[in-house]
Each structure stands twice: as C-alpha cells, then as structure tokens.
C-alpha cells in the first residue's frame, strides 16, 4: 500500500523530469538555430546615415555705397573757400567728413549747384553757380560721382548743364542725372566686381531734345524705363536717386509717396 510520502516523491520526480525535458528542448532549438544560421546569406549592414555637412556661406564680393546730400553751395559757404589770390579751395568744408567719405567703396554726392563758369555770377539762390574748385576738392576726399539732376541743375541754362558735366568729369567724377546728347540716362558701375545699375531723376518733366543736353525728369515712367534697361544689361543691384523734395516740409508728401511707389 503506497504511502503519502511515496506519492509526493513521485510527483517531485515527474516535475524534475518535465523541467529537464523543457531545458533539453530549448537547448535543441538553440543548437538547431545556430546551425541553421551558418547557411543563411549574410545581410549587408548599412552604415549609419549622417546629415551632409553644412557648407559655410561663401561671400563672393561686398561693396559699400554712400549717398551724400546736398552740396548746396550758397554764396556764404563758398566765400569761405576764397583764397588771397582770388582762387578757391573747398577742402575745409570736408574737414569733418573726408575720413567717412573715403571709407566707402563708392561715394555719391548730390550736386545742388552748377559750374556755369565766369559767364555767370557766382551765387547761391535763386540761380546757383559755384567755382569749379568744388569738383576737384570733392574728388580729393573720395567722392566718385555727382548727381546732376535736381531743381537747380539748369540754373545756368543749357550752357551750364554742359559745363557742369565737363568740369565734374575732368576732376575724375562720374555724373548721373544729366547727360550729353546720345548718352544713356542710366549708369552701370562695377564696384568690387558687383555691377550696380544707377538712375537719378528730378521732379520736373524736362522735354528731351536729342541734339541738346538733357536733365532726367519725371514722370516716373521715365525712371522705371531706365531701371528696366539697366536690369536687362545684367546688373545685380540698383540704386535710385529721386530729387522730389518739397521744401520746408519735414514729412513725406502724398506726391512723393506716389512717385516712390510707382518706381
């Protein structure tokens, strides 16, 4: 007759045999899997993906352009440049600005007078006419261009328009805003390898005569035409100079805003 102890012993043996069987089965499966792996083709491993390196921005060229206005030469101003021998030297009026002017790659100044010569009185308002020395002195301190289209550009008539261009150019200054017959109404200037298209217009609508010197006058369609022509010529940037001031006003007028918006 079996005792309780015998039954418990047999149960324990069966549990142990079951565990041993399970462990043996797991071992067989592992051995089989390892053996089978030897016959499987190797899966190529892809290198970890990395973002392409960000290349630093390359600066091809830079240029700085200054705009100065106005060289408004009233008689008390240019009288300070009169020398004892009767000649003129205007170096003193640039005393505090010459270093700043020279620091730019290209310096532009609005010439609010004319170089009409001795045939006209040297004076300021209402008909500006200044001694020629101003052009040379402006070039000496680093100016590169005169703007020659404003409400005083014709103060010494057509003769003065021509002579102003001649005197300025003889001093080594480019001119923009008025031109000899057949010349373009815009300029393309290369500054540090950058092609810059420039226009300058004044608020008066000046009738063009192909046989006479011309001052660039609005309406704004004329200015826009000059810009478009310069852009077609391959400029990278454009600069627009519009002499559309309303004297004794310290805020922009509606006509000024309309003009700028149109261009």
**pTM beyond cutoff 0.85:** no
Residue 178 β-bridge partners: 215
Q: Calculate the dihedral angle through the C-alpha atoms of 203, 209, 210, 213, rounding to the nearest 10 degrees.
A: -60
Higher pLDDT, 250 or 244: 250
3-state class (DSSP) for residue 88: strand
- From 65, 78, 212, 42, select the one nearest 143 (Cα to Cα): 65
What pLDDT is stored for residue 211 in this prediction? 57
DSSP conformation class of 82: B
Per-residue tokens: 141: 């301190």
Write out pLDDT tens, residues 57-98: 777 889 999 999 789 999 899 889 999 999 999 999 999 999
Write out pLDDT tens, residues 216-245: 777 655 555 666 666 656 676 777 777 766
* CB-based contact 169:158 (threshold 8 Å): no
Residue with tokens 């003129």: 88
What is the three-state SS of 146-180? Answer: EECCCCCCCCCHHHHHHHHHHHHHHCCCEEECEEC
Separation of first and last alpha carbons in the chain? 120
């Amino acid at each position: 007759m079996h005792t309780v102890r015998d039954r418990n012993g047999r149960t324990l043996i069966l549990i142990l045999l079951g565990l041993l069987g399970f462990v043996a089965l797991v071992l067989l499966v592992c051995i089989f899997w390892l053996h089978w792996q030897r016959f499987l083709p190797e899966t190529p491993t892809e290198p970890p993906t990395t973002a392409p390196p960000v290349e630093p921005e390359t600066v091809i060229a830079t240029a700085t352009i200054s705009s100065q206005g106005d060289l408004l030469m009233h008689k008390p101003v240019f009288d300070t440049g009169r020398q004892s021998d009767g000649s003129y030297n205007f170096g003193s009026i640039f005393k505090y600005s010459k270093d700043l002017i020279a620091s730019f790659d290209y310096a532009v100044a609005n010439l609010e007078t004319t170089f009409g010569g001795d045939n006209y009185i040297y004076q300021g308002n209402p008909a500006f006419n200044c001694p020629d020395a101003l052009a040379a002195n402006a070039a000496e301190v680093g100016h590169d261009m005169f703007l020659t289209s404003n409400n005083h550009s014709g103060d010494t008539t057509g003769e003065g328009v021509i002579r102003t261009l001649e005197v300025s150019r003889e001093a080594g200054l480019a001119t923009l805003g008025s031109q000899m017959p057949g010349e373009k109404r815009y300029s393309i200037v290369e500054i540090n390898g950058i092609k810059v298209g420039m226009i300058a217009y004044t608020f008066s609508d000046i009738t063009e005569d192909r046989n006479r010197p011309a001052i660039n006058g609005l309406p704004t369609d004329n200015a826009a035409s000059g810009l478009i022509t310069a852009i077609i010529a391959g400029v990278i940037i454009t600069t627009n100079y519009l002499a559309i001031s309303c004297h004794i006003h310290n805020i922009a007028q509606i006509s000024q805003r309309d003009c700028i918006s149109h261009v």
